[in-house]
Chains A and B, each alone.
Chain A
Amino acid sequence: QQPVQSPQAVILREGEDAVINCSSSKALYSVHWYRQKHGEAPVFLMILLKGGEQKGHEKISASFNEKKQQSSLYLTASQLSYSGTYFCGTGNPFGNEKLTFGTGTRLTIIP
């Protein structure tokens, strides 16, 4: 079952903040966040692990709520370069196996 992302799309002005949510119907063990620009490779942003460990980008933060089976990605003071489609991918308890991706959130930053 794929995770559900919200919103599906959002348009912001430069400098505004954004929150992208990822909800799973299954227990979460790890959540991986990626950003993809059109025609390019998805770029790793952040990984959050059950138990609180995080690893990722300096200017991007995320939360992991095991109880709610949800993760949120926070983009503060957005820049034009933040535009793209954001995907969350959920892992499994064995690690290093397939990610199940959400349908993506298209973020457009305008000047």
Chain B
Amino acid sequence: EAGVTQFPSHSVIEKGQTVTLRCDPISGHDNLYWYRRVMGKEIKFLLHFVKESKQDESGMPNNRFLAERTGGTYSTLKVQPAELEDSGVYFCASSQKPGRPYEQYFGPGTRLTVT
């Protein structure tokens, strides 16, 4: 069974540019999460999809961040325009159906550097 995949693995952009990160969850997993780890700090929740619906986007920093999940499959996270403080590693995770705590499986992350 393929794991969670993310693309790209690294992205270096200039302040003011736009970047789109993609996540493909494990097939059949309804729950999809985005997290971010800024250098040296904890992994922080950004948002949660159940299928194509946003269940919780309380962790999204501001309106420069836009997440979508087309048809309940893959998800994209767009940052527009990027700022220096957006640098970090963005992780995607997926888990099975809602109803009880299931383990979340993480992707390898996208390292975003904004210069």
Query: Number of A residues whose C-beta is below 8 Å from B?
Result: 27
Identify B42's interface contact among A2, A32, A97, CB under 8 A. Answer: A2
Asked if B61 lies at the interface with its beta carbon under 8 angstroms from chain A, I say no
> Does B79 make an interface contact (CB < 8 A)?
no
Q: Is there a chain B Cβ closer than 8 Å to A43's Cβ? A: yes
Can you name 6 extra interface pairs (CB under 8 A) apart from A49-B101, A91-B101? A41-B106, A41-B107, A42-B106, A95-B98, A97-B48, A101-B35
Select one of B3, B45, B98 contacting A99, CB under 8 A: B45
Q: B22-55 vs A: 1/0 string, CB under 8 Å?
A: 0000000001010100000111110010100001
Q: Are A96 and B56 in contact (CB under 8 A)?
A: no
Complex Cα gap A42–B42 (Å): 12
List which A11-54 residues lie within 8 A (CB) of chain B: 29-30, 32, 34, 39-44, 47, 49
**Chain B: interface size category:** 20 to 34
Whole-angstrom distance between the Cβ of A92 and the nearest chain B Cβ: 9
With a cutoff of 8 Å between Cβ atoms, the chain B residues found around residue A102 in the complex are: 42
Residues of B within 8 A of A47 (CB): 101-103
Q: How far is the CB of B29 from chain A (nearest CB, A)?
A: 10
Interface of B: prevailing SS: loop
CB-nearest residue of chain A relative to B102? Answer: A96
9 A-B pairs with CB atoms under 8 Å apart are: A34-B106, A41-B3, A49-B100, A87-B43, A89-B43, A95-B99, A96-B50, A97-B56, A99-B35
Q: Which of B41, B44, B95, B106 contacts A96 (CB 8 A)?
A: B95
Asked if A6 is an interface residue, CB under 8 A from chain B, the answer is no
**Chain B hits for A55, CB < 8 A:** 103
0 or 1 for each of A82-103: is its CB under 8 Å from B? (1 = yes): 0000010101000111111111
With beta carbons under 8 angstroms apart, the residue of B33, B100, B106 that contacts A95 is: B100
